[in-house]
Structure 1
Amino acid sequence: MKKQLNVEIGGRIRKTREALGYSREALAEKADLATSFIGTIELGTGSFTAESLIKLCHALGTSADYILFGAEEQSDLSTIDAMLSGLDSKYIPYVEDLLSAYLKSLRLSGK
């Protein structure tokens, strides 16, 4: 299990690096890490510290959630929050019901 997890994490790092057009050497320089270290991480044969993870996140411009779990960053919901902030609290359950129904219809339609 641990080996497979390391391979998945390394794959996400490699995929992000390649999408940015970085060589291993370029990523290593941006993250202030050794090129050989980047190689072992991408191949899933090595592990890293929290400090190295932070350096990789900054260098790749991605979140730790994506690197570790494959989850994309959350969208900025500040506009929706602002729209709802002035709403009388008695209407919140209705908004939740509407949003739930809308999201369910999207899932059913395959969008």
Structure 2
Amino acid sequence: MKKQFNIEIGGRIRKCREALGYSRETLAEKADLASSFLGTIELGSGSFTAESLVKLCHALGVSADYILFGKEEHGDLSTVNAMLSGLDPEYLPYVEEMLRSYIKAITAVKK
């Protein structure tokens, strides 16, 4: 059971990393972890501390609930959140404007 749990956690971390387009080395640097240690976590062959979990959550822009239990916020917002957290802050106003326009358009179509 413990091994399967670790494999699932590692898979979710890898999924988020890949959604952001990060290499293992890039995520390790952003989370202040060794790349080899991150590799063992992603493969499910190692465990980690609460401190490492917090670092990974911040670097990936996802909640600990998602990493540990796979609980996503309303659909797959964790992936969207991860993509946005990896974006250069100077582009966020443009993304926000585009998202508002898109939401307005799809809401109008539903009416």
Could you state the TM-score of these two structures normalised by the residue count of structure 2? 0.66
CA distance in 1 between partners of 2:40 and 2:67 (Å) = 15
Alignment of 1:9-88 (within 5 A): 9-73=9-73
Contact 1:65 1:73 in 2 (8 A): no
**Which one has more relative contact order, counting CA pairs under 8 Å at least 6 apart?**
2
**Which runs of 5 or more residues in structure 1 are unaligned?**
76-111
Q: Percent identity?
A: 84
1:40-63: CA deviations, max 9, x gaps? 000000000000000000000000
The number of aligned residues is: 75
Shift of 1:74: 5.5
Of the two, which has the highest radius of gyration?
A: 1
Please give the root-mean-square deviation of Cα atoms over the aligned residues, in Å: 1.2
**Which runs of 5 or more residues in structure 2 are unaligned?**
76-111
Shift of 1:73: 2.7
Q: Which runs of 4+ in 1 moved over 4 A?
A: none
Could you state the TM-score of these two structures normalised by the residue count of structure 1? 0.66
Secondary structure of the residue that 2:30 maps to in structure 1? helix
1:69-98: CA deviations, max 9, x gaps? 0001369xxxxxxxxxxxxxxxxxxxxxxx
